[in-house]
Amino acid sequence: MEALPRYRFERLVDEALSSLPAELLPVLDNVAVQVLDRDEDEPGLLGLYEGVPHTERTGSEGPDVVSVFRLPLCEMCDDLDDLRDEVRVTVIHELAHAAGIDDERLDELGWA
């Protein structure tokens, strides 16, 4: 689909954040979520978690960052409903990594 304007894409990210599984809500206290157009190093990347998972924190770390990449997500989707679903999956996936949940557990939980 054609790239959604940033302000509309950010609304989809906000929708995803407001519908998170309860297990991920505590993670939001120390995670900044940002929308970027594309990752410079991996242009096809959909999302990226940068930080120390909450299960490994010692207390001296700064805030974590989750980046959601607008253009690759728009490019892979056929329509707005598909994009909404993919944004939600991406946000949950990256926040789960912040919570210390690996890809295998994400699959088990049905969040992948």
pLDDT at 106: 85
Answering whether pTM is above 0.85, one says yes
What pLDDT is attached to residue 36? Answer: 98
- Residue 17 near residue 91 (C-beta atoms within 8 A): yes
% the chain with pLDDT above 90: 73
How far lies 17's CA from each of 20, 41, 50, 63, in Å? 5, 26, 17, 17
Using the predicted structure, report yes or no on whether residue 83 has a pLDDT greater than 90. yes
Write down the residue that tokens 């190093």 correspond to: 41
Share of the chain above pLDDT 70, in %: 99
pLDDT score, position 62: 82
Write the pLDDT tens digit of every residue in 22-36.
Answer: 889 988 888 999 999
Residue-wise pLDDT for 46-76, tens only, equals: 999 999 998 898 888 888 999 999 999 999 9
pLDDT at 63: 87
What is the 8-class DSSP label of residue 20? -
Domains of the chain and any CATH numbers: 6-109 (3.30.2010.20)
Three-class DSSP category at 108: helix
- The DSSP string of 37-102 is S--SS-TT--EEEES--GGG--S----EEEEEEHHHHHHH-SSHHHHHHHHHHHHHHHHHHHTT--
